Structure 1
Amino acid sequence: MKTTMKWVMSAAVFAMSAVGCGGASEATVEDMATAKQDLGPNREFYGSDTLKDAMIAASLASSANLNVQGKGSGVGEGCVRTGSAGYCTAGQQALSPMSRDFKAPCRTGERSNIIALDAVNAFVNTSNALTDISLADLRKLFFATDSAGVAIPGSCTSTLTKYRRDDLSGTTDTFKSLVGGGTFCSDVTVIADGALPAACAGETSATKCIGKLTATDANAIGYSGDSAARTGNRALSVNGIAPSVTNVRKFLTDKANAYPLSRGLFLNESTTNTRSTNERILYAWAYSAANKQAFENILVNQGFIACDTTGALKCGGVNNDGKGAGLCQ
């Protein structure tokens, strides 16, 4: 569907060549508040694994000097809210890149900011003759029970080698919600950031690992974000609707006819948590008039989809800049 960028640094170089090295230039009072909070001891910044490479590139381009860790949207959300065991304390981050929205209920000061669109895809090897799958068959393939906990007749019988993201992943949350799944089949292998199998040596994230596994194993199927696409694998159509740019953009304008596993990608924030200097630099750069196109270019070069062709970050919300375009406003 799109060409996925192979090297993170190239995105940063592209962005810096487009906007220069001035970093953030049009910060608001909110963006550049003087209150300062440290992140982890080495500036660790947690959030979506799907967005990990894009956020590394954005940190480089903005000179934010964040130590982007990924680990999953659930970890990033915890770092903004009540903490995430083994990673961060409560309120340690004011920003969290996430491949899903905040979970309800919204907390005071939280804002859901859509920055791009994506497709959660079921990837198979290009040698597989399958090109389309129904939501019902996806549910039977991956889940033993549905979202209500009821056993799914005929489920978990496929001989395909199945891969999934871990339970801290926003991609897993989205997949379960949109497919209507509950408990996964016991034969589905979990791929987690920070604990990649030997077959994924050299890969930078769980998302890229699933891309490699489906590209190299003719019997494999795995779900992941769109940036897992690479030579050797193919994203299936779902319910006869292809994960094309046009069909994913309908997520914002015509959900009934959108690709069924379309989703927004977020740079979610707490406006009440004290934000670190590093976060303030990134946020001011990403949303400044001078640099937001460069930020969007990084996202697109990673294989994600711009919300609108007429301008950067036009992803809805009161000012059509994506801020407050999701659950929390």
Structure 2
Amino acid sequence: MRRLLSPKALATLAVVTLALHGVTAHANEMEIHGSNTVGATLAPMLVSGYLKQYTGEAVRTEATGRENEQRILARGNGKALEVLVAAHGSSTGYKALAAGQADVWASSRPVKTREAEEFRNRADLTSLESEHVIAIDGLAILVHPSNPVNQLSIDTLGRIYAGDIRNWSEVGGPDRPIKLYARDDRSGTWDTFKSLVLGKKYALAPSAVRYESNDQLSDDVSRDPSGIGFAGLASVRNSKVLAISEGDAPALKPNQLTVASEDYPLARRLFMYTPGSADNELVSGLIDFALAGPGQELVAKSGFISQNPIAVRPEFDDSVPDSFRRLTERYDRLTVNFRFAEGRTKLDNKAVRDLRRVSDFLAQAGKSADDLMLIGFADQQSNELRAQMISELRALSVRKALAAEEIPDVAYTGYGHYMPVGGRGSQRNGRVEVWVRAR
């Protein structure tokens, strides 16, 4: 006898079937699900900016009646357009994309290997067509404004959140118990903190208070002299931000240069993922808008770090060698680093798009390839000669990529394994900095 499926099983089968065929099971013209860091302010700003450009008409935002959800409304081509932004955490966004309920997955962490493999039959989420870095964020470590502690190492921060360090007096602060504030398990902010700070060495103390909202966490820390928390850079609000160090590298505070270049130990990328090249005109248009200049200007207005390069004169501390000061004395540094896909020699997805951004910067600033200098760096190597060779090869690789963007014969050099920005073995140490001749 043939077995009948229950209504619940039939509903599940329908969602799976839709997902396998890449069909969205929703009424809105576009749905964005995922990260609260992205979805609370940034995604609605990008959607509003794009819809205004797309329709030439006024755009409005309204609440849906559910916490951390917004609907952006406009009219285009004679019909109403509705875009839903649901910001319940990065993991919820992946599940919605996989189930065909979302057109765009907003995430404050990169796609996990398991997720990419699960999605492989539809699209490669690690490809340039699917993975879109829309902003750079610094995971800010927050304390009460009256707290005299100014900096912590990543390891000390891990011990605090594991409950091994329980009083501020143990790290140079007042004799006061430490109260832990943390994002919830569905959050990409939590995934980033867990990966970069706790790792496999520490587990979060059960006493930590958990939050779905970055802003609410920050507000509560700013009212608690015992508190410590972490949130996206756009949610610092009234809290004090600590400088963070990794290994023997100097402690850095998150700012325009340290975060945009990803030198700051807790810098992270904010993503939008789509299942390959989008067939939905609104989706592809939104992605193009978000990655281009106008979209990146909205990124900056939202409190995150734009990927539009600017020239900055760094403030060198005592750890910077005299030889490096002489090398760069007539140059400013662009707020972009070229990095490579992990375990590979090719540039990662962000770096591929940054090539065009550097070209656009030169055109807008009235400069040429002759005004650029690339400086490559390597992680700690067994000997100085090997480190020098690796750093020069990295710089040469970027030089060749820039030549393909019609920026030929850029000056380049390597600086070996000196001036690390992370601990030994940190992938962030292997980078190519871009310097531009000052006027």
TM over 0.5: yes
Q: What percent of counterpart residues are identical? A: 23
- In the TM superposition, 1:1-329 aligns within 5 A as 37-39=24-26, 45-52=32-39, 53-63=41-51, 65-81=82-98, 90-105=99-114, 106=116, 107-108=119-120, 109=123, 110=125, 111-143=130-162, 154-155=164-165, 159-181=177-199, 182-192=202-212, 206-230=213-237, 232-239=238-245, 240-251=251-262, 258-271=263-276, 277=280, 280-288=281-289, 292-309=292-309, 316-320=350-354
Q: Measure how far apart 1:129 and its partner are.
A: 0.8
1:115 and 1:267 in contact (8 A); partners too: yes
Aligned residues: 246
Mapped to 2, the partners of 1:40 and 1:104 lie a distance apart of 31
Name the TM-score, length of structure 1 as normaliser: 0.66
Q: Measure how far apart 1:286 and its partner are.
A: 4.0
2:296 and 2:307 in contact (8 A); partners too: no
Mapped to 2, the partners of 1:122 and 1:319 lie a distance apart of 29
The letter of the residue matching 2:82 is N
Q: Deviations over 1:110-165 (max 9, x none)?
A: 22211111111111121111110111111011125xxxxxxxxx355662221111
Distance 1:58 1:208, change over 3 A: same
Q: Any idea what SS the aligned residue of 1:71 has?
A: coil
Mapped to 1, the partners of 2:203 and 2:31 lie a distance apart of 32
Q: Which residue of 2 aligns with 1:13?
A: none
Q: Which residue of 1 aligns with 2:407?
A: none
1:98 and 1:265 in contact (8 A); partners too: yes
Q: Return structure 1 stretches of 4+ with deviation > 6 angstroms.
A: 40-43
The letter of the residue matching 1:171 is T
Greater helix share, 1 or 2?
Answer: 2
Mapped to 1, the partners of 2:186 and 2:283 lie a distance apart of 24
The letter of the residue matching 2:85 is V
Mapped to 1, the partners of 2:305 and 2:289 lie a distance apart of 20
Q: Deviations over 1:54-102 (max 9, x none)?
A: 1112222223631212001111011122xxxxxxxx1322311111111
2:33 and 2:104 in contact (8 A); partners too: no
Distance 1:99 1:156, change over 3 A: same
Distance 1:318 1:250, change over 3 A: closer
Q: Measure how far apart 1:38 and its partner are.
A: 4.1
2:34 and 2:87 in contact (8 A); partners too: yes
Q: Any idea what SS the aligned residue of 2:134 has?
A: strand
Q: Any idea what SS the aligned residue of 1:248 has?
A: helix
The letter of the residue matching 2:288 is Y
1:79 and 1:93 in contact (8 A); partners too: yes
Mapped to 2, the partners of 1:271 and 1:70 lie a distance apart of 22
Q: Any idea what SS the aligned residue of 1:222 has?
A: strand
Mapped to 1, the partners of 2:295 and 2:355 lie a distance apart of 13
Distance 1:42 1:128, change over 3 A: farther
Q: Deviations over 1:280-319 (max 9, x none)?
A: 4143144159x932221221111111124269x9972434
Q: Deviations over 1:195-215 (max 9, x none)?
A: xxxxxxxxxxx0111121122
Name the TM-score, length of structure 2 as normaliser: 0.51
2:198 and 2:204 in contact (8 A); partners too: no
The letter of the residue matching 1:177 is S
Q: Which of structures 1 and 2 has the bigger CA Rg?
A: 2
1:62 and 1:282 in contact (8 A); partners too: no
The letter of the residue matching 1:210 is L
Q: Any idea what SS the aligned residue of 1:139 has?
A: helix
2:36 and 2:90 in contact (8 A); partners too: yes
1:285 and 1:292 in contact (8 A); partners too: no
Mapped to 2, the partners of 1:223 and 1:247 lie a distance apart of 17
Mapped to 2, the partners of 1:78 and 1:183 lie a distance apart of 25
Q: Measure how far apart 1:40 and its partner are.
A: 6.3
1:120 and 1:225 in contact (8 A); partners too: yes
Structure 1: tracts of 5 or more residues without a match: 1-34, 82-89, 145-153, 193-205, 252-257, 323-329
Distance 1:36 1:177, change over 3 A: closer
Q: Measure how far apart 1:234 and its partner are.
A: 1.5
